Amino acid sequence: MSTTATPHSIVADGLTKRFGDFVAVDAVSFRVNKGEIFGFLGANGAGKTTAIRMLCGLSIPTSGKGTVAGFDVYTQTERIKRNIGYMSQKFSLYEDLSVTENIEFFAGIYGLSRDRIRTKREELIAKLGLVQEADKLVGALPLGWKQKLAFSVAVFHQPQIVFLDEPTGGVDPVTRRQFWDLIYEAADAGITVFVTTHYLDEAEYCDRVSIMVDGRIAALDTPTELKKQFGTGTMDSVFYELARGAKRGGA
Amino acid sequence: MSVLPVLLRKEFRQIFRNKSILTISLAAPIMQFIVLPLAANYEFKNIDLAVVDNDRSDLSRQMIDRITGSGYFRLVDHSASYAQAYALIESDEADLILQIPSGFERDLVREGREKVFVAVNAINGLKAGVGGAYLTAIIAGFNRSVVLDLMPTAAPAGIAVTSSGLFNPRWNYQIALIPGILAILVTMIGGMLSALNIVKEKETGTIEQINVTPIRKRDFILAKLIPFWLLANVVFTIGLVVAYLIYGIVPQGSLLLLYGFIGVYLLAVLGFGLLVSTYCTTQQQAVFVIFFFLMIFILMGGLFTPLDSMPDWARTATRFNPLTHMIEVMRLVILKASTFRDILPNLLAVAAMAVVLNVWAVLNYRKTS
């Protein structure tokens, strides 16, 4: 792939999205390195989801520049889609298909061969401990299992980058821990992870963290540096310092 | 490698897993065929008649007997006055009033002519019209026989009209209705299911997941069209079989022609469903929009309201109603054994609609906003 030439998985340069008079994302600029776990934090309504949608090729930016996996966010959205995985806020597997059928479907979409799907599928089901549930409908699984499965499906085709939009919402702490084990595993395999979350303990697991306030990036650094900058011991207070000045949403 | 087989397998799995949709689609033709033609009958019986007989003669009694003996009328009252009969119309106990003047027998015998007065409650226009016509016909028949009795030598001059029901010899309303009902059924199932399917993916959020994959719009839409196209064909076939089993209707024309037309027609209907789904975000919206259009399609389709009696603008409008063409073709091919040449105008119209609706739907479905 031609993308090996650039050291960055994601480049955003003044990326902006307007809806009428409302500037949802206001000239954000950042770079995400290959294999990095990049935390994308912000209060509700700060513009995180809109930013992610632009990077995934679901929404065309109003202005600014951006590339994802080396492809342009204006003109090469379909090529971007070939190289990313995505797991949205809303649970997005088919509830009326079984575990096996969901894996087969999403893997098939990316053109993986049948044999390859079969072997990898067995491995995955065993790893997630879903052997008993393989033929059950996904709708019947507990939320935590669904989320782990959705993540595994999102990285099943080994994309360069995976976008996770609040993947652990509503999940218990133990499952959240297991979920992050899966994220680390994916990052170790060379997949860049771009993750939004409201859990600030999860921010500590990221290599670098950006915090969005009112459509702008208010801070961007490693968790350690950010805490030093704001003279506090927790990401919680860093976030609070930044987000309490927000004019929109209700953090 | 095309991903179409992958998409199709998923669609079929979901359809076969949804037992309620499957059951309704398959049970609907059977239910509709049993219930609708029997209930929707334009042949009126039991028309309630009030008679004001001011003559009370043999002849007036004979005429009343003739009317009640026809089987279409039910004599609800021998009213003493017109006002009393009118009260019955007001209270909806009578549909028609027949007033026989005093001196009816005398004038008829002496002068050979007399007038009777018929008043009709025209609120139910169809029933009133048909009832009035029946009554007139019976009285005319009675009149002829009286004239013959009184003046056997003077055979009535005049034109006797006899009619013959072409393609439906027994004037059977059921036979006229069945092809139309089948057309409506296929339209409802095709349009509704295809519209609801995509909107459901929007509601559950899975469409978002599809939109971040490299699936091409064309493949996605085809995978939505093909299963419902097949399902609607199955429903149509069941309908034909049921029509044969219950009513003994056998398509007089070519089956190949029939299925060929349906194939194109379904593309138009499914395209319409897809188009609606691209504009709606919830299943509720989609149901209302589809329902709105189906009502117009059905009312303007020529099954329940004859096209020939519509004003010009309405008749022009029906040319843009796919269901009108479908009902016409069904009647032509099933009852009249029409050939390809006969239905070509319909086929071209429906094909044009299929192209426009599907292209519009594909253009309007956006993976990226």
Token pair 């949802």 is found at A24
Task: Look at the block and give the residue holding tokens 């055979």.
Answer: B155
**Within an 8 Å CB–CB cutoff, is residue B30 touching chain A?**
no
* Mean pLDDT, residues A7-15 taken together: 91
If you average pLDDT over residues A117-128, what whole number do you get? 92
Measured distance CA(B11)–CA(B8) in Å, rounded = 5
Q: Looking at residues B98-115, what average pLDDT do you find?
A: 79
Where does chain A show beta strands of DSSP type E? 8-19, 22-33, 37-42, 63-68, 71-72, 84-87, 161-165, 192-196, 208-213, 216-221
B103-117, B187-201, B281-295: segment of lowest average pLDDT: B103-117
Q: Predicted ipTM?
A: 0.85
H or E element in which residue B292 lies: helix B283-299
Distance CA B342, CA B328 (A): 11
Give the pLDDT of residue A210.
Answer: 93
For A150, name the nearest residue in chain B, comparing CA atoms only: B209
Which of the two residues, A242 and B170, has the higher pLDDT score?
A: A242
Name the range with the highest mean pLDDT among A60-64, B14-18, B109-113, B175-179: A60-64
Whether A91 is covered by a domain: the verdict is no
- Taking the C-alpha atoms of residue B61 and residue B53, their distance in angstroms, rounded to an integer, is 8
Distance CA B83, CA B135 (A): 21
Strand duo A8-19 + A22-33: pairing: antiparallel
Which residues face B166 on adjacent strands?
none
Best probe of the B interface among A73, A93, A104, A109, by most B CBs < 10 A, is A109
Nearest chain B residue to A97 by CA distance is B14
Rounded to whole angstroms, how far apart are CA atoms B152 and B147? Answer: 7
The tokens describing A141, both together, are: 């699984």
- Whether residue A88 lies inside any domain: the answer is no
**Nearest residue in B to A55, CA atom:** B212
Spelled out in words, what is the top-level CATH class assigned to the domain B47-150? Answer: alpha beta
What is the 3-state secondary structure of B14-62?
Answer: HHHHCHHHHHHHHHHHHHHHHHHHHHCCCCCCCEEEEEEECCCCHHHHH
A230: domain CATH number is 3.40.50.300
How large a percentage of chain A has pLDDT more than 90?
61
> Would you state the structure tokens that stand for residue B355, as one six-digit string?
């192209």
Cα distances (angstroms) measured from residue B281 to each of A223, B18, B155, B195, B277: 40, 21, 75, 11, 7
Tokens 């299925």 belong to residue = B259
**Which of B192, B179, B180, B174 is closest to B24 using CA atoms?**
B192
**Interchain CB distance below 8 Å, B205 and A101:** no
Q: Which of B16, B18, B20, B213 to mutate to test the interface with A (most CBs of A within 10 A)?
A: B213
C-alpha of B352 from chain center: 24
Of A59, A92, A108, the CB nearest to B209: A92
Cα separation values, A100 from A121, A141, B150, B342, Å: 7, 13, 92, 52
For the purposes of burial, counting CB atoms within 10 Å of the CB of B49, is it exposed (0-12), middle (13-18) or buried (19 or more)?
buried
Q: What are the structure tokens assigned to B267, written together? A: 């593309």
* A251 Cβ under 8 Å from any chain B Cβ: no
| Residue spans of beta strands (DSSP E) within chain B | 47-53, 73-79, 96-100, 117-120
Cβ–Cβ below 8 Å for A105 and B6: yes
Contact B14 A59 (CB under 8 A): no
User: Nearest CA to A131 among A122, A142, A140?
Assistant: A122
The answer to whether residue A120 is domain-embedded is no
pLDDT of residue B156: 47
Question: What residue of A is the nearest CA neighbor of B204?
Answer: A92
CB contact (8 A) between residue A110 and residue B6? no
Q: Residue B350 is encoded by which pair of tokens?
A: 């429906």
| Tens-place pLDDT, residues B216-260 | 888 998 999 999 999 999 989 998 898 888 888 888 888 999 999
The whole-number pLDDT of residue A97 equals 94
Domain carrying residue A6: 2-83+159-243
> Read out DSSP for B153-185?
TSPPPSPPP----TTSTT--HHHHHHHHHHHHH
Of residues B362, B352, B359, the one with CA closest to residue B264: B352
Query: Is residue A2 pLDDT above 50, yes or no?
Result: no
Nearest to B212 by CA among A184, A109, A47, A123: A109
pLDDT at residue B353 tops 90: yes
Q: Judge whether A199 is closer than 8 Å to chain B, CB to CB.
A: no
Q: Which residue of B has its CA nearest to A61?
A: B369
Q: Is B3 on the interface with A (CB under 8 A)?
A: yes
CA atoms within 13 A on the CB side of A137: 10
| pLDDT band with cut points at 50, 70 and 90 for residue B159 | low
Digit-coded pLDDT (tens) for B165-183: 556 655 566 677 888 888 8
The yes-or-no verdict on residue B155 having pLDDT over 60 is: no
Q: Is B19 on the interface with A (CB under 8 A)?
A: no
Banded pLDDT at B158 (limits 50, 70, 90): very low
Residues A191-213: pLDDT tens digits?
A: 999 999 888 888 899 999 999 98
Least CB-CB distance to B6: which of A90, A109, A163? A109
The domain segmentation of chain B, as residue ranges, is: 4-40+169-364, 47-150
Full DSSP string of B240-272: HHHHHHHH----SS-HHHHHHHHHHHHHHHHHH
Mean pLDDT of chain B: 83
Using the Cβ of A18 and the Cβ atoms of chain B, whether some distance falls under 8 Å is answered with: no
CB A10 within 8 A of CB A194: yes
A118 in a structural domain: no
Calculate how close chain A gets to B269, using CA atoms only, in Å: 26
Binary contact (B214, A109; C-beta < 8 A): yes
Query: With contact defined as beta carbons under 8 Å apart, do A90 and A164 qualify?
Result: no
User: Residue B282 to residues B22, B148, B295: CA-CA distances in angstroms?
Assistant: 21, 72, 20
Chain B residues with CB-CB distance to A97 below 8 A: 10, 13-14, 17
Q: Which among B337, B327, B269 is positioned nearest to B302, based on CA atoms?
A: B327
Is the pLDDT reported for residue B86 higher than 90? no
Q: Measure B7 CA to nearest chain A CA, in Å.
A: 7
| Cβ-defined contact of B206 to A92 (cutoff 8 Å) | yes
pLDDT, tens only, B24-44? 888 877 888 788 767 766 566
Question: Which one of B9, B10, B368 has the shortest CB-CB distance to A58?
Answer: B368
Number of domains chain A contains: 1
pLDDT at position A101 is 95
**Strands A216-221 and A208-213, bridge-based pairing:** antiparallel
Would you call A155 an interface residue with chain B, using a CB distance cutoff of 8 Å?
no
DSSP letter for B157, please.
P
Locate B198 and state its tokens: 């995509």
Calculate ∠ Cα A205-A206-A210, nearest 5°. 135
- Could B214 and A110 be called an inter-chain contact, meaning their C-beta atoms sit closer than 8 Å? yes
Q: What pLDDT was estimated at residue B23?
A: 86
Instruction: Give Cβ neighbours of residue B79 (< 8 Å, ≥ 6 apart).
Output: B50, B51, B52, B85, B88, B97
Of the candidates B7, B17, B215, the beta carbon closest to that of A96 is on: B17
Q: Nearest residue of B to residue A157 by CA position?
A: B213
**Chain A CB within 8 Å of residue B204 CB:** yes
Among residues 27-66 of chain A, which lie with CB inside 8 Å of chain B? Answer: 56-60
Distance, CA of B327 to CA of B178 (rounded, Å): 10
How many whole angstroms separate alpha carbon B225 and alpha carbon B133? 49
d(CA A153, CA A139): 15
**β-strands B47-53, B73-79: how paired?**
parallel
Task: Identify the residue with better confidence: B140 or B50.
Answer: B50
Shortest CB distance from A86 goes to which of B6, B204, B212?
B212
DSSP 8-state class, residue B160: P
